[in-house]
Amino acid sequence: MTAEERRNLRAFQDYVIKILDPTYILSYMSPWFKDDEVQYIRAEKNNKGTMEAASLFLKFLLELQEEGWFRGFLDALAHAGYSGLYEAIESWDFQTIERLEEYRSLLKRLQPEFKTTVNPKDILPEVSKYLIIQECEEIMQVCSNKGLMAGAEKMVECFLRSDKENWPKTLKLALDKEESKFSELWTVDKGAKNIDVKVLEDDEMETSDIQIFYKEESECQNLSQNSCPSSEVSHIYTPVKPRNYQLELALPAKEGKNTIICAPTGCGKTFVSLLICEHHLKKFPQGQKGKVVFFAVQLPVYEQQKSVFSNYFERLGYKVAGVSGATSENVSVKQIVENNDIIILTPQILVNSLKNGTIPSLSVFTLMIFDECHNTGKHHPYNMIMFNYLDQKLGGSSDPLPQVIGLTASVGIGDAKSTAEAVEYICRLCASLDTSVIATVKDNLEELEEIVYKPQKFFRKVESRTTDRFKCIISQLMRETESLAKSIFDEIGTITLEGISQIQNREFGTQKYEQWIVTVQKACTVFQLPDKDEESRICKALFLYTSHLRKYNDALIINEHARMKDALDYLKDFFTNVRAAGFDEIEQDLTRRFEEKLQKLESVSMDPSNENPKLKDLCFILQEEYHLNPESRTILFVKTRALVDALKKWIEENSELSFLKPGILTGRGKTNQNTGMTLPAQKCALDAFRTNGDKKILIATSVADEGIDIAECNLVILYEYVGNVIKMIQTRGRGRARGSKCFLLTSNAVVIEKEKINIYKEKMMNDSISMLQTWNEAVFKEKVLQIQIQEKVIRDRQGKVEPVPDKENKKLLCRKCKAFACYTVDIRVVEECHYTVVGDAFRKCFVSKLHPKPKSFGYFEKRAKIFCARPNCSHDWGIHVKYKIFEIPVIKIESFVVEDIATGAQKLYAKWKDFHFEKIPFDAKEMSK
């Protein structure tokens, strides 16, 4: 090792101390370290902490005189998994590690919320490659020994030491996959991971106006769509004779008309789409072929429909394949579309493919089928696809357009208050889907009613508790916690807790209060003070206070609709986890305040006089219905997952209801550490309810609104549960069996009124559809066309409203040291998305170093990284590439400050697309001069 390398290691030792846990590499360093030194380092970690141990390790390391110790140290880093640190030391370039600092600061700030909302065991498989193997093992061990909150705290500690440059993005993807609420707070620069665009490296290159979509999944809402149960789906190829009403629904589409098929849940709309598909593919003459695309918004429906279509059509010799957000990275969308007759897609896949040119136009398809087509509105992917279709239609293109079919149980009427407004709303949906036919069952209504039973609907208004001592005690704790949070703001004096959010008149125990907490926490992520340590302290405190307020708010909601005991258990579990984790001074204070009230809360929750009247009424309904029909099958809908758990416990502990053996079905998203069902778990729950006669009740959230087909279900109970007219029709559609009933149970008269309005709106919708079906088809088509033309004018106008480029010359200064870099007049745009600087003057402003990961992409060959040339700065400015025959720098705007020459005002930009200066295209002729 040279003296220079020893000096460099001393110079960069702060980076090493922040990242390295020396105990992970000691076994590899045994040839150079004495046994007592190894024990001393281990003891330092146990007694004082990891950073102190790393500091001691470096002290011993730099004192070594033996040959080969430096290479041995690098090899030890590589073996242990410290790849980022290894590369940084080998090249003496710590820019990549330095760029992670902002994410470390953000994670420190968000730690209180992370540990209360993230289940580390769920995301560990996704993020493990960005941690050391021993760290992963330690996280699991802490989860087992001390609980999930302590495990989450350990995971944060490990991320703060991670040297892998993409750990922030991978954490974001893992949180998105688990649909964690924490994902809303964890904001990172979304790299182009799932879309094939012309970029060289997502952390070094900036592209103009490229929209990134990470995934297709949202909370699972559709688990089945065909009228046969899941156990029969795999045998759908068995010849099935279509019912007359199904043939009636398919008729307009078979005639080649763009059609919305509106029919009740459970009537077999998927089978109707199979009939339409088969007829469509067989109509083409010899030498021509059709190509069908079927869209399913939710991933579970995509999986199920892909299976249904494969089983049905592959026996007929047609090729079926699918692409979803979960599989798009591993397959070529273009090849899948080219090589198959029927393609099942989640719609964002096609939106992305049209945007980046993978699919040139919709003319490659001859038939498009939109499942749950009532979603075609605003910025939904369905509407993005149809914008493309309508631009082609109205733009005078001679290319043929595909036939369009929409499937839905309810087209809805939006906010319409009259039949005329409802007709207009439905016409706009038809215009969005370019349809002028709405197919409903009219001629075979009796047959349909034999198959799909419309349950009787009952409204039960019950009284709430006359006095609620539990709520009084918890509300007092919430007021105290709010006061503590306000005192933090009083220290600053420039902002108030009320001023941080526009949400006013928030009440404890409401969704509005939850929204206020989210707003405050988001504001904390961008809160800044000159003193960064003080900023970190204040933000951490605010996150702790708001996290506790959220738990109290959750408990009040449980108390309102279930037992006080369940609400108290929820809080006791939370505080047990808090104690097992870091348990700092603020947490100790908040826990002490809760424990002071615990005895009183225990007493109140055990008092029989405080029993929830709603539960008495729910118990009466269930006992009555199972007395009349012991074989009844029930779905109980509730608003939140916490209520699902609370009502399951209540039924199991109630001697009069425990025979029901409740199952649960919730969404896949994570609202806290202990909720969210995986897709296999959802399927198991459904299968158990369908096939296990002992499980007589399924307690579900809105995940069960759409797509569940359980023909035997004869009782639906909506427990404080109401939505719009579409949700009402779909939820009621869960009750399929003859003589089925639907109860709405609530203590809120407004809820009953809202449901009655939905019933009125349903009638208005049906009347409006009937009216439209009497229109002359040419008149309907003209109405649709006029709406499309109007909407396109508005869309084009909105699309063309672009900021006027500022033609005034500006300076670009190094963001770190403010050294002059270049003028905007010298910037050129390469292939619409990369930015270079022409002229020899700029070359004197930067220094370059060979790129550690050189690679080629298109016409670009990435060769070096460029840095500010000012001594002691070396801020990362971008990269140096060979573009065709030219050697050019490519800069990233986030590395610079933009200064107005006239006023001296300075501004920061994160994206080139946000910087509206006059952008001059790169010209090879200019370079040759």
Which residues are documented as binding site for Zn(2+)? 814, 817, 868, 873
Report the amino acid identity of residue 168.
Answer: P
HSE-up of residue 929 (Cα within 13 Å, Cβ side): 6
Instruction: Identify which of 725, 714, 737 has the alpha carbon closest to the alpha carbon of residue 635.
Output: 714
Distance, CA of 609 to CA of 604 (rounded, Å):
9
Instruction: Identify which of 558, 589, 556, 594 has the alpha carbon closest to the alpha carbon of residue 574.
Output: 594
b/e per residue 766-794 (b: at least 16 CB within 10 A): bebbeebeeeeeeebbebbeebbeebbee
Report the amino acid identity of residue 859.
Answer: Y
DSSP reduced 3-state for 96 = helix
Distance, CA of 713 to CA of 690 (rounded, Å):
9
Encoded tokens for 217: 């999944």
Encoded tokens for 449: 């009613």
* Binding site per annotation, positions: 814, 817, 868, 873
Instruction: Identify which of 9, 103, 90, 95 has the alpha carbon closest to the alpha carbon of residue 846.
Output: 95
Q: Is 564 exposed, middle or buried (0-12, 13-18, 19+ CB in 10 A)?
A: buried
Backbone phi and psi for residue 203, each to the nearest 5 degrees, phi listed first: -95, -5
> What's the sign of the alpha-carbon dihedral 188, 194, 195, 198?
positive
Q: Are 175 and 182 in contact (CB under 8 A)?
A: yes
Report the amino acid identity of residue 908.
Answer: L
If phi > 0 it is left, if psi is from -120 to 50 it is alpha, else beta; for residue 860 that is beta
Report the amino acid identity of residue 405.
Answer: I
Bridge partners, 367 (sequence order): 292, 403
DSSP reduced 3-state for 318 = coil
Encoded tokens for 642: 């916490």
Strands, E, within 781-909: which ranges?
810-814, 820-823, 827-830, 834-837, 846-857, 860-868, 876-883, 886-891, 896-900, 906-908
Instruction: Identify which of 301, 300, 296 has the alpha carbon closest to the alpha carbon of residue 382.
Output: 296
DSSP reduced 3-state for 156 = helix
Distance, CA of 211 to CA of 672 (rounded, Å):
29
Backbone phi and psi for residue 883, each to the nearest 5 degrees, phi listed first: -110, 110
Q: Are 898 and 915 in contact (CB under 8 A)?
A: yes
Q: Are 155 and 166 in contact (CB under 8 A)?
A: no
Distance, CA of 217 to CA of 442 (rounded, Å):
36
Instruction: Identify which of 221, 197, 545 has the alpha carbon closest to the alpha carbon of residue 358.
Output: 197
Q: Are β-strands 896-900 and 906-908 bridged in parallel, bridged antiparallel, or unpaired?
A: antiparallel
∠ CA 865-869-873, rounded to 5°: 95
Distance, CA of 640 to CA of 721 (rounded, Å):
10
Encoded tokens for 310: 């494969």
CA–CA distance from 424 to each of 272, 415, 613, 708, 772 (Å)?
Answer: 27, 11, 44, 31, 10
Q: Are 747 and 461 in contact (CB under 8 A)?
A: yes
DSSP assigned state of 364: G
**266 Cβ neighbours under 8 A, 6+ residues apart:** 227, 451, 452, 709, 711, 733, 736
